Amino acid sequence: MLRQGAAIAELARHGYDGLLTLYRRHGPVFTLGAGRHGYVYLLGPEANRFVFANTALFRTREAFEALVPVDGPTSLIVSEGADHRRRRALVRPALHHRRVEGYVRTMAESADAAIDAWRPGDRIDAYQVFRAAIRRGTVRALFGPRLAADADFLGDRLQPMLDVIDRMPQALRAHRVLRTPAWRRAMAARRAADERLYAEIARLRGEARDGTDPHAVAPGDGEGDGDGGGARGGHILADLVRARSADGAGLSDAEIRDQAMTLIAAGYETTSAALAWTLHRLLTTEGAWRRARAEAERAGPPTAESLGRVPYIAGAVNEALRLHPPAAISARHTAAPFTFAGHRVPEGATVVYSPYVTHRLPEAWPDPLRFAPDRWAEGFRPAPEHFCPFGGGAHRCVGSAMATTELVVTTMRVVARATLTPETREVRPRGLTTMRPAGGLPVRVTSVRPG
C-alpha cells in the first residue's frame, strides 16, 4: 500500500530518482495527492505506449496550461484535435530534417562565436555560454541574419517569463491571480517580445503581398541547400508566413507568433540543457572527449554531409537525451475514464508519465545507467515507448530534428576546438519544466584551437 507521506518525502529527497524508487515499489500505476491537486503516475514503456497511442483519451491544454504565458494559446503543445492537426501540418514542413540541414552553418557559426571568446585558463559556465549561443542560432534560423541581433533582446525578455512558469501549477496560478511582481515583470517582457515578433510578421506579409518576398521559392524547390539559411537563404518565420493548407488557408499572426515563441523558448531551455548534459558526460567518461574529438576532426567542419560521419558524437547526444531528458516528466489530462494495468483512472485526472524513469529501467535498456554512445551504432533505433525524450504519438515535438541537429553540430565544434576540464564531476539536476544542471556546468578551459 502506498503511504502518501512517505512517497512525497521520497520525491522531495531524491527528485527524479525518487520516481524510479516508487516505480519499483508500487509498479507502473500509483496516485499521489487527492482531488484536483492529485496526480496519477503511469510509468514505464507500456505506460508510454498507452499514452502515445490513445490520443482521444487525453487532453494536453489543461496539462500544459502553465506554458501558455510564454508559448501562447495556439502553440502546438497546447493545441488539440483538428486545430492541432491543421497547425502541425502547416508548421512541420518548415522543420523537416532536410530544411533543418540548411541551418547547419548557422548553428556552427553560433558555436564558434562562443568558443572564440575563450582563453586558456578561463573558468566558464558552459551551460550558460551555450544557452546564449543556441538562442542566437535559433533566432537566426527563425528570422535570418538580418535580425540575428534580436537574440539577446528576446532572451532578456524570455527569462522573466521562463522564471515565472518554472513552478508547480498551484504556485503559478497564485502568481497570476495575485499579479505578483514576478508575474507583472513576465507579462511586461512578453508584451515587448510580442511587439518585435508581430512587427516582423507584418513585414514578411507585406513583402508577400507586394511580390518582393526574397524568401519565396519555386514550387518543389523547398530543400535546404546547406548555405546556413535554409532553402535559398530563407528562414523559418518566412516559411510559416507562406505556409498554406490544401484549401489555401494559412496561419494567423497569433498562430505564427506562438509557434515562433515556442521554438525560441525550446532552444533557450531544452536544447541548451541537453547540450550541457552531453558535454558533462563526455567530460566525465574516460576517453569519451578524446574519441569524440578524433571523430570530429576526421569528419571535418559541420555540413549536412559530415553529420553522417560522426556516429559516436550522435550516439553521445542520444545517450545524454536518454539519461538526462530535458522533459524528464510530462503530463496529460484525462478526457475520459480508462483502465490501465488493472487500475481505473477517472476522467479529469492529471496523468504523469516519465521518459526519465523509462530510460533508466534495466528491462528497457541493458546496463541503463552507463553512458554508452556505442549502443547507438549501426542505425540502432529503439522502440518509441523505450526512447521518448521528445514525447511521442501525435504530440511528439515537431522541432526534434532541429534540436538534435543543433546538439550534434555544437558538440562537434566544442570537442574539435577546445579541451575542457570539469570543475566538478557531480552535477545534480533541477527544474520542473526543464531538467537542467543545478549550478550550471562549470569548466576550466585548458586549450583552444583556432576556428
pLDDT beyond 70 at 51: yes
Rounded CA separation 106/140 (Å): 7
Contacts of 382 (CB under 8 A, 6+ apart): none
pLDDT score at 218 = 38
pLDDT digit string, tens, across residues 156-184: 787 788 777 776 677 777 888 888 898 88
What are φ and ψ of residue 30, in 5° steps? -155, 160
Cα(202)–Cα(204) distance, integer angstroms: 5
Q: Find cell 568558443 and name the residue.
A: 115
pLDDT digits (tens, 9 = 90+) for 191-238: 998 998 899 899 989 988 877 655 554 333 333 333 344 444 468 889
Q: Is the pLDDT of residue 363 over 90?
A: yes
Rounded to the nearest 10 degrees, the angle between the axes of helix 272-284 and helix 311-323 is 110
Q: What is the DSSP letter of 366?
A: S
Instruction: Write down the pLDDT at residue 147.
Output: 65
320 or 97, higher pLDDT: 320
Q: Residue 176: what residue type? A: R
Tell me what the mean pLDDT of segment 246-256 comes to: 93
Average pLDDT over residues 362-391: 95
Residue 334 confidence (pLDDT) above 50 = yes
Q: How many helices (H) and strands (E) does the chain have?
A: 18, 12
